[in-house]
C-alpha cells in the first residue's frame, strides 16, 4: 500500500471522529466533508481541513460520491476512508476511487459486490463449504414457485430481500395461507428500499443467537435486528467458536477479502448448528470490541491469515447509546443535548462519540449518540463495569436508551446467558417497566442545589442580602421523567437558615447542612445531610434538573415560590440614602410611596435576579424622596431605584 499522508473521511459523527483520532496518532492529516447541518459539529472541528458538500439529506451530500472524490483530488488526499454506512459498501464508489488513483480504505469492489447480494454470497459460501441456512437462493421469483420451495423447506420460513439489510424486505411466515401476502409485502418493501424486489426464502430458526466474527476471529453476541449490547466471547463453547472462526476465514478467502469486515452467523440453540447469514464488507460499528481484546486499532488493513490471541482482555462489552424512546417502540429521537456528561474514561472504560453538550441530534441521520465500551477480567465484572458506567452517563434534552440498557444488564436471563434473539420481545414488560415513585431525598437535594447554584452566581454586593437570611418557602413542584411512570404535582416546605436547608417532603424531614461544588464538574454537587452524604448532578436552567442515584434524570418545575417570612440585617449597596441595583434585575414589588416615613429595617423593594427574589430594606430611618422605577420594569446594574433623605 502506498504511503498516506492525507486522508479524506467520507463520513460523519462518531466514526469520523474515531478515524481522525487514529489518523492523527499516525501523523496523517485529515479532511472532513460535511453537510449544511453538520457545519459546527465535533468531527468538522477535529479535521485539519473541512469542506461543505451539500444539504442535510444524505442523497445530496454524504452519498454524493462525485463531490467527495472532487474534494479528495482538490485537497491532494491519497486515500478515502468510508467509515460505516453511507458509501462504505458501495462497489461503484470503490471502483471510482481506484480510477482516480485514490486508495479506498476497504475491500475490493469485487468482494463488496459478491457479498452485497445475499443470494450470490450464499452460493459462494456453499461452494466454500461454509454452512448456510437451508432455503432457496436462486433467481426464479414466481410467487407460486417460491411457495412450493417454502413447503419443501417447511414452515416457519423467512422471506428476505436479496439486497436487503436493516430488517427491510423481511417477513416471518408461519403457515402456508400467509405466504403469498407476506411475499408481496416483502417484495414491495425491498423495491422501495433497495430498488430490487428479488427475495430468497430460508428456514426460520425459532431460537437463534446472532454470532459475528470480525476478521480477527472475534465472536460477539448481537440482539435481534435491533442491536443493543455486543459482547465477546460468545456464550458458545470453545470448540464451536473455533469452528465458526475457521468458517469465517474460509468465507473471507472465498472472495479474496482484504481489510476490515464482519462475517455474520446464526446459531440454532435447538440443534446446536450454525449457519452463514451475510458478510458486512466494511468496518463494523462494534469494532472497538476487537480493539479492546487485542489492545490495538487496525483501521487500515486487516489480516485474515492468522488468529489473534483473545486472552489479552477477555470480556469486552459495547453498549450503543441512542436517542430513541424504548417505551414508544424505540422510535428515534432528535433534538438538542441540553445536558451531556460522560462517565470517566479509564483503561477499562472507553467512550466513542461525535457529540458534545449543546450539539443537536439531527432527524437526517442515525440517532446514535455514542458507543460505551468496557472490559473486565470475567463476564460478571465486565457487566458491573458497564452498569456503573451507564449510571454515570447523563443525558437530558432528548430521549435516550440508557435506562433501558441498565435494565437489560440486570435481567436474570441476560446475566445467566439464557437469551436468544427473542429476548427483548418476550421480556418487554420487565425491560420497559418504569420506576413507580420518586425518592424524596432527590427532590430535597434538587431544591437545595438550586438555591446554592443561584447563590454562587451572585456578586458579593447582592450575596450580602442573602447571608444570615431566614426564609420560609412553600413550593409547588411539577416532577417528570422519562424513567418514571407518572408525572407528579407535590407541595413542600423549604426553610433556609443561613446555609442550612430544612425541607419537608411527604412527611419526611430532610436537613441539608452543607452544599459544596465538586472539583470534577461545575454541576456536580456534594450534599451533607441528616441522612448522609450524597453526590448529585444538578442543572438549573429553564427547569430544575437532578440525576438520581441510578443516573436517571428528574425534571422539576417550581410553579410557585411564596416567601412567607424574611428576616435579614443586610441592606442595599451604595450609601445609606440611595438604593441601587447591584446587578441587572427586575423590580418585583415596591412597598413604599414617595413621602412615606420609613424606619431602619423596613422593606423598601423586592427584586428578582438569577431566578431568585431579593428583599431590600432601609438602612436608616428617613423619608422616601424618590422612586425611579415601577413594578415589572427591568433595571440595569448600578441604577438607583429608591432615594431616602
Beta-strand pair 6-9/29-35 = parallel
- Spatial separation of the C-alpha atoms in residues 515 and 447, rounded to whole Å: 11
CB 210 within 8 A of CB 266: yes
CA pseudo-torsion sign 107, 112, 113, 115: positive
Q: Which triple of cell numbers denotes residue 470?
A: 431566614
Q: Could you give the count of Cα atoms lying within 13 Å of 492 in the half-sphere of its Cβ?
A: 30
The set of residues, in sequence order, having a beta carbon less than 8 Å from that of 26 and lying 6+ positions away, is: none
Q: In this structure, what are the phi and psi dihedrals at residue 448, rounded to the nearest 5 degrees?
A: -65, -40
- How does DSSP assign 539-594, residue by residue? EESSSEEEE-TTS-EEEEEEEEEEEEEEE-----BSSTTEEE-SSSEEEEEE---T
Taking CA atoms, 340 is separated from 44, 83, 104, 390, 439, in Å, by: 19, 25, 35, 13, 23
- Give the SS3 label for residue 603: strand
How far is it, in rounded angstroms, from Cα 495 to Cα 449? 14
Exposed, middle or buried by CB within 10 Å (0-12, 13-18, 19+), for 2? exposed
Partners of 218 in beta bridges? 214
**Distance in angstroms (rounded) separating the CA atoms of residues 512 and 532:** 9
C-alpha distances out from residue 356 to 43, 423, 552, Å: 11, 33, 19
Backbone angles phi, psi at 534, to 5 degrees: -130, 145
**Structure letter (DSSP) for residue 435:** B
| Beta bridge mates, 360 | 336
Q: Catalytic: which of 209, 282, 350, 539?
A: 282
Q: How many angstroms separate the CA atoms of 494 and 509, rounded?
A: 10
- To the nearest 10°, report the CA torsion of 243, 244, 245, 248: 130
φ and ψ of 325, to 5 deg: -115, 95
b/e burial code for range 159-181 (CB count within 10 A of at least 16 → b): bbbbbbbeebbbbebeeeeebee
Alpha-carbon torsion angle 251, 256, 259, 265, nearest 10: -10
241 an active-site residue? no
What are φ and ψ of residue 138, in 5° steps? Answer: -85, -170
Query: CA quadruple 441, 442, 443, 445: dihedral positive or negative?
Result: positive
Map residue 503 onto helix, strand or coil: strand
| Catalytic machinery residues | 282
Amino acid at each position: 500500500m502506498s504511503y498516506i499522508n492525507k486522508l479524506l473521511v467520507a463520513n460523519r459523527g462518531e466514526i469520523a471522529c474515531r478515524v481522525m483520532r487514529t489518523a492523527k496518532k499516525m501523523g496523517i492529516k485529515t479532511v472532513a466533508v460535511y453537510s449544511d447541518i453538520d457545519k459546527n459539529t465535533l468531527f468538522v472541528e477535529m479535521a485539519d481541513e473541512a469542506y461543505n458538500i451539500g444539504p442535510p439529506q444524505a442523497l445530496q451530500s454524504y452519498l454524493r460520491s462525485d463531490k467527495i472524490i472532487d474534494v479528495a483530488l482538490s485537497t491532494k488526499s491519497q486515500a478515502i476512508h468510508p467509515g460505516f454506512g453511507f458509501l462504505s459498501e458501495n462497489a461503484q464508489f470503490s471502483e471510482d476511487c481506484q480510477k482516480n488513483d485514490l486508495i479506498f480504505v476497504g475491500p475490493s469492489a469485487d468482494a463488496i459486490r459478491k457479498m452485497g447480494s445475499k443470494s450470490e454470497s450464499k452460493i459462494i459460501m456453499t461452494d466454500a463449504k461454509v454452512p448456510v441456512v437451508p432455503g432457496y437462493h436462486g433467481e426464479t421469483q414466481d410467487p407460486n414457485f417460491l411457495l412450493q420451495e417454502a413447503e419443501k423447506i417447511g414452515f416457519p420460513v423467512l422471506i428476505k430481500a436479496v439486497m436487503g439489510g436493516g430488517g427491510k424486505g423481511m417477513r416471518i411466515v408461519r403457515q402456508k395461507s400467509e405466504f403469498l401476502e407476506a411475499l408481496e409485502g416483502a417484495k414491495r418493501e425491498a423495491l422501495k428500499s433497495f430498488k430490487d424486489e428479488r427475495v430468497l426464502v430460508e428456514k426460520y430458526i425459532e431460537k437463534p443467537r446472532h454470532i459475528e466474527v470480525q476478521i480477527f476471529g472475534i465472536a460477539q453476541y448481537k440482539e435481534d435486528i435491533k442491536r443493543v449490547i455486543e459482547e465477546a466471547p460468545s456464550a458458545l463453547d470453545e470448540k464451536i467458536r473455533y469452528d465458526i472462526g475457521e468458517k469465517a476465514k474460509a468465507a473471507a478467502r472465498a472472495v479474496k477479502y482484504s481489510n476490515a469486515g464482519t462475517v455474520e452467523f446464526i446459531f440454532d440453540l435447538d440443534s446446536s448448528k450454525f449457519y452463514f447469514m451475510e458478510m458486512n464488507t466494511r468496518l463494523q460499528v462494534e469494532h472497538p470490541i476487537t480493539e479492546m481484546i487485542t489492545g490495538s486499532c487496525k483501521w487500515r488493513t486487516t489480516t485474515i491469515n492468522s488468529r489473534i490471541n483473545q486472552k489479552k482482555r477477555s470480556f469486552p462489552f459495547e453498549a450503543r447509546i441512542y436517542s430513541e424512546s424504548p417505551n414508544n417502540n424505540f422510535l428515534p429521537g432528535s433534538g438538542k443535548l441540553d445536558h451531556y456528561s460522560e462517565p470517566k474514561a479509564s483503561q477499562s472504560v472507553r467512550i466513542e462519540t461525535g457529540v458534545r453538550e449543546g450539539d443537536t441530534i439531527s432527524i437526517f441521520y442515525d440517532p446514535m449518540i455514542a458507543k460505551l465500551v468496557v472490559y473486565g477480567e470475567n463476564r460478571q465484572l465486565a457487566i458491573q463495569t458497564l452498569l456503573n458506567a451507564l449510571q454515570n452517563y447523563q443525558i437530558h434534552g432528548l430521549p435516550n436508551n440508557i435506562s433501558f440498557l441498565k435494565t437489560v444488564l440486570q435481567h436474570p436471563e441476560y446475566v445467566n446467558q439464557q437469551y436468544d434473539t427473542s429476548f427483548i420481545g418476550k421480556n418487554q414488560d420487565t425491560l420497559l417497566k418504569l420506576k413507580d415513585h420518586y425518592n424524596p431525598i432527590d427532590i430535597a437535594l434538587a431544591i437545595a442545589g438550586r438555591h446554592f447554584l443561584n447563590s454562587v452566581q451572585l456578586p458579593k454586593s447582592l450575596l450580602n442580602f442573602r447571608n444570615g437570611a431566614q426564609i420560609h418557602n412553600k413550593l409547588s413542584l411539577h416532577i417528570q421523567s422519562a424513567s418514571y411512570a407518572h408525572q407528579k404535582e407535590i407541595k413542600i416546605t423549604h426553610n433556609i437558615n443561613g446555609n442550612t436547608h430544612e425541607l419537608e417532603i411527604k412527611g419526611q424531614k430532610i436537613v441539608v447542612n452543607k452544599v459544596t461544588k465538586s472539583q470534577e464538574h461545575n454541576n456536580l454537587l456534594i450534599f451533607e445531610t441528616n441522612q448522609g452524604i450524597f453526590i448529585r448532578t444538578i442543572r438549573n436552567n429553564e427547569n430544575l434538573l437532578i440525576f438520581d442515584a441510578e443516573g436517571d434524570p428528574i425534571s422539576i418545575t417550581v410553579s410557585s415560590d411564596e416567601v412567607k417570612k424574611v428576616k435579614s440585617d443586610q441592606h442595599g449597596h451604595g450609601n445609606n440614602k440611595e438604593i441601587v441595583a447591584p446587578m441587572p434585575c427586575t423590580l418585583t414589588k415596591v412597598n413604599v410611596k414617595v413621602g412615606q416615613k420609613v424606619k431602619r429595617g423596613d422593606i423598601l423593594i423586592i427584586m428578582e435576579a438569577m431566578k431568585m427574589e431579593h428583599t431590600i430594606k432601609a438602612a436608616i430611618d428617613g423619608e422616601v424622596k424618590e422612586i425611579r422605577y415601577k413594578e415589572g420594569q427591568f433595571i440595569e446594574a448600578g441604577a438607583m431605584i429608591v432615594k431616602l433623605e
